[in-house]
Structure 1
Amino acid sequence: MSKRTVKKTMAVILSCIGALLVIAFASLLIISGIFESPKYWEPWQKTYSQKFDDPRIRLIAHGILSANGHNMQPWKIRLDKEDPMVFYLYADSDRLTNEVDPFARQMMITQGAFLEYVNIAGDELGYQIAVELFPEGGYNEQKLPESMKTKPVAKIMLTKDKPRNNPLYDSMFLPDTNRAAYQSTKLTSEQINQLETINADANMSIKIFQDEENVDKLGSYAMKGATIEADVNRVMQESQTIFRANEYQKNKYRYGFSVEGQGTSGIMRHLIQGLVTLFPSMNSGKAASDLFIRSTRTSVDNTPAYAMIITGDNTRSSQVKSGMLYSRLILTAHRLGFVMQPLSQVLEEYPEMKEPYSSIHRDYAAGGGAIQMLVRLGKPTKEVPQSMRRNVMDLIAGE
C-alpha cells in the first residue's frame, strides 16, 4: 500500500471518528433535553407572582423560593374560603425524608424559611403580615404524619398597607445555596456584627466562627458527617430516589436534586445529564458516595467561615423560628456579598450519626440548646444556577 493510500485511509478513518464524536455529542444533548424549556425555573422570575390576582397566592409564589431540606418543597397551603386575607401553611407529610430527617426537625426549619420569605414579600407587595404558629395546637408526635395533615404550622393573616421597600427583597431571587469553592476572604467585625444581630429572639442566637481552630474543627465535623452519611445506604438511596437526571424529569417533578446543584451549568450540564441518563450507575452506589465525599472535601478546604443557629430548646416552634431566622441570615449575607451552604449531615439524628451529633453539641451548645443549622459562609468564586421550583398552584389544597 502506497503512502498516499495510507494517508487517504487515515483521513477517512479520522473523518469517521470525528463524525461519530459529533453524533455522540449531539445525542447526549438530546438525551439531556437541551431543547426542553426549563419550566422549573419559571418561579424565579420576578414577574411570576404577578400572574395571580389573589394576593395570598402572590405571596406564596415568593415563599416557594426559600431554602428547604433536600429541595423537597414540603409546603401545603389551604386558602381560607371565608376570609380572602387569610391562609394556612401545612407541612406536607407526603414529602417527609424519613431516613435523613427521622424527627422532622429539618421539615420544621423549612416551614419557617417559607414564612420569612412571605413576610419580606409582604412589604414589597403592600401587606402587613401577621403569623400565628400552630394555631390549632401542636402535633401528636406519636402520629406525626397524620397530625401534619390536620394541624397547620401557621395561620397567615394579611392587612392591606402601603408598599414598603425591603432591602432583603431582591436577594430572594438569588440561589440560596452555593456549593462551589469560596474565596479565602474573612468577614470584617462589622459584617459579623450585622449578621449576628439580625436575631432579636432571646431564645436563639447566631454564631460565626472564622478563627483557624474553629474552622478546622467544624470542617472536621462536616467531613465526619459526610463520611458517615455516604456509608449509610438507606440514606444515600433516599437522595438518589429524588435525583432528576435530565430536563424531562426536572420539568415533570420540579423538586429534588439535579446536576446544577453542584454548580454545573451551560453545555457541561447537558453533557453530564446525558451521561447520567444513559449510565445511571454514575450517580448511584459507591460512585455517588465517593462524589459526595469529594464534594464535601472541596467545600471544607475552601471555607473561610462557618455560621450556626442555636436555639435554647428544640420545640417545634423553636425549629420553625430558626428557619425564619435562617432566611434572614441568607438574605442579609447576600446583601453583604456572601453566599452559604448548609453542612447539615452532622446535625442529622439517625442512629449512625449519634456520636458526632452529640459531640458537636457538647462543643458548641453545652448549655443544653440545639444547633439547628450549620452552614459554611464566604465570598463566592463562581455563580451557580437556581434549583428547581414547583408550580405554586401545586401547593394549594384542592387545586
Structure 2
Amino acid sequence: MNRRNFIKIIGAGTGGVVLSSHLTGCDVALDNQAFGWNGPDKSIQDIRMQVLAYAMLCPNPHNIQPWMIRLTGSDSFNLYVDPERILPETDPIYRQIHIGQGTFLETLAIAASGLGYKAEMTYFPEGMYGNTELVDKPVAGIKLVSEAGIIKDPLFDFLLLRHSNKREYSDYRVVQSELDALHAAHQRHSEFSLTFVNSPQEKALLTQILTEAMQIEVGNRQRDLETIKMFRFNEDEIRTFRDGFGVAQTGLTGFKKIFVESFLLDRKTVEADTTEFGQQSVDMVRKVAESTNTFAWISSRGNTRLDQVKVGRDYCRMNLQTASMGLAQHPMSQVLQEYDDMLALQGEFKKHFGIPESETVQMLFRLGKAAPVEHGPRRLVAQIIKVI
C-alpha cells in the first residue's frame, strides 16, 4: 500500500492541518501544565506574570505567538510585535499579526478582571505607524490597577476552554436565536460590522471561494514553506518550539496520531517537495467548508493599525462567546490576504457578497458544532519578555 492510500485510510493528509486561515489559536495539549493550559502557576505572585500567562493563550496567526513584552514598572508593561515572529509571505503587510496583538490584549483584559484588576490600556503610546509597515514602537501600554469590587468579565471562565476547531463540523445548523445572541454580544463591545451567511447558495459560493483561495496560497513554494515552518511534525518538535500546530489540532488522537507522526510525516521530505502537502491542504479546506452551514466575517471601514488591533479584540470575544454557547469556531481567512496573487479573488468575494470595495474584511470564520480538538502549545511567559 502506498503512502497516499495510507493517508486516505488514516483520515489525515500531510497537509491536513494547514487549513487554518492563519489565526489558529487557542486550540488540550500533550501536557497542559507544561503548555500553560491550566492557567498561571499558583506560586506566581507577580500580577503582570499572571495576566500574561493567560494572555498568551489567545488565538494568533499560525500560533506563531508574535508578542514581545517590555516591563515598564511594577504593575505595567508595553506590548510590541516581535519582529522575529511574523509571516511575510502570507501576511505581507502584517495585518493579521496586528489582529493577533488585539487578541492578546483582549485576553489580558479579561484575565485581569478575573484576578481583581483593571487593565488600563493606551494604544500606540509612542505614536501609531502606517498600516503597511512594522516599526519598533509599542502597540499598547498596559497598567494593571487593583480595583475592589471589580466585576469579573463572564468570558473569563472560558479562557482555558476556547479553541479554534478545525474538524469537519456536524450537520447542526446554528439557529437564529444563537446568531442573535452572538450579534448582540458583538455590538455591546464593537464598532465594526459583523455579518452572518447561512443559505445553501451562500455556503456553496463560499466553499468554492475558500477552496480556490487555498489553491492560490499553496501555488507558491515560499508561501508553502512559511506554513510548513510552523507545522510541528512530532512531539519532539512541539516540546522544542512550543508554538505552531500539528495533526492534533485537526482532532487526530491516539494510535492514528502516533502512526501519522511516526511514519507518514517527515520535515525533510515535505520541505523537499511541498506538492502533496499543499494539495492535501486544499482538499481539507474544501471538506471543512462543505461541512459548515454558517460563515461569518468582521469588517471595518478603516484599516489602520488601531482598527486591526481592535478587530482582534472583537474576534477574541467572539471566539470566547461561541465557546460559552457550545459552538465550534474556525477562522478561514486565506482569501483576505494581501499578496498580489490573492487580490483578484478577494475582489470577487467582496463583489459576490455586496461588500463595499472601501471596506476591509478583517476576519472570516465558520461556526457549527464538533468534538473539541487539542490546544496548541504555548511558550513560557519568560520567553516573550525582553530586557531593554
Give the TM-score category using the shorter length.
0.7 to 0.9
TM-score (norm. length: structure 2)? 0.86
| SS of equivalent to 1:173 | coil
Give CA-to-partner distance per residue, 1:271-294, whole Å, 9 cap, x none: 211124557435751110121011
The structure 2 residue matched to 1:111, chosen from 101, 104, 114, is 101
In the TM superposition, what is the alpha-carbon distance from 1:128 to its structure 2 partner?
A: 1.0
Percent of pairs identical after alignment? 29
Alignment of 1:117-196 (within 5 A): 117-139=107-129, 144-145=133-134, 147=135, 150-162=136-148, 164-196=151-183
User: What residue number does 1:254 align with?
Assistant: 242
Classify 1:41/1:206 alpha carbon distance in 2 versus 1 (closer, same or farther; 3 Å). Answer: farther
Is 1:287 matched with 2:271? no
Give CA-to-partner distance per residue, 1:152-177, whole Å, 9 cap, x none: 00011111024644321222212521
| SS of equivalent to 2:297 | strand
TM-score (norm. length: structure 1)? 0.84
The structure 2 residue matched to 1:343, chosen from 332, 354, 360, is 332
| SS of equivalent to 2:118 | strand
User: What residue number does 1:323 align with?
Assistant: 312
Classify 1:208/1:90 alpha carbon distance in 2 versus 1 (closer, same or farther; 3 Å). Answer: same
User: Would you say the 8 A contact 2:110–2:153 is kept in 1?
Assistant: yes
In the TM superposition, what is the alpha-carbon distance from 1:199 to its structure 2 partner?
A: 2.8
Distance, in Å, in 2 between the alignment partners of 1:140 and 1:180 is 36
> Counterpart amino acid of 1:195?
L
| SS of equivalent to 2:196 | strand
| SS of equivalent to 2:206 | helix
Alignment of 1:50-69 (within 5 A): 50-69=42-61
Give CA-to-partner distance per residue, 1:152-208, whole Å, 9 cap, x none: 000111110246443212222125211111122222222111111223467411111
Distance, in Å, in 2 between the alignment partners of 1:70 and 1:275 is 24
In the TM superposition, what is the alpha-carbon distance from 1:305 to its structure 2 partner?
A: 0.2
Worse overlay, 208-217 or 280-289:
280-289
Classify 1:56/1:114 alpha carbon distance in 2 versus 1 (closer, same or farther; 3 Å). Answer: same
The structure 2 residue matched to 1:45, chosen from 26, 29, 37, is 37
Classify 1:43/1:52 alpha carbon distance in 2 versus 1 (closer, same or farther; 3 Å). Answer: farther
Give unpaired runs (5+ residues) of structure 2: 1-28
User: Would you say the 8 A contact 2:57–2:378 is kept in 1?
Assistant: yes
If asked which structure has higher relative contact order (CA below 8 Å, sep 6+), I would say 2
User: Would you say the 8 A contact 2:130–2:304 is kept in 1?
Assistant: no
The structure 2 residue matched to 1:91, chosen from 81, 89, 100, is 81
Distance, in Å, in 1 between the alignment partners of 2:212 and 2:43 is 46
> Counterpart amino acid of 2:292?
T
Distance, in Å, in 2 between the alignment partners of 1:340 and 1:319 is 20
Alignment of 1:156-305 (within 5 A): 156-162=142-148, 164-197=151-184, 198-200=186-188, 203-276=191-264, 280-281=268-269, 284-305=273-294
Classify 1:232/1:279 alpha carbon distance in 2 versus 1 (closer, same or farther; 3 Å). Answer: closer
Distance, in Å, in 2 between the alignment partners of 1:141 and 1:193 is 32
The structure 2 residue matched to 1:101, chosen from 78, 86, 91, is 91
The alignment yields a C-alpha RMSD, in angstroms, of: 2.1
User: Would you say the 8 A contact 1:43–1:65 is kept in 2?
Assistant: no
User: Would you say the 8 A contact 2:78–2:138 is kept in 1?
Assistant: yes
Distance, in Å, in 1 between the alignment partners of 2:34 and 2:156 is 18
Worse overlay, 161-170 or 229-238:
161-170
Give unpaired runs (5+ residues) of structure 1: 1-36
> Counterpart amino acid of 1:351?
D
Q: Which has the larger radius of gyration?
A: 1
Distance, in Å, in 1 between the alignment partners of 2:83 and 2:354 is 31
Aligned length: 356
Distance, in Å, in 2 between the alignment partners of 1:45 and 1:71 is 14
User: What residue number does 1:26 align with?
Assistant: none
In the TM superposition, what is the alpha-carbon distance from 1:234 to its structure 2 partner?
A: 1.2
Give CA-to-partner distance per residue, 1:69-123, whole Å, 9 cap, x none: 011000001111xx31211110111111000000000001000001110111111
Distance, in Å, in 1 between the alignment partners of 2:288 and 2:145 is 43
> Counterpart amino acid of 1:294?
D
User: Would you say the 8 A contact 2:37–2:57 is kept in 1?
Assistant: no
| SS of equivalent to 2:154 | coil
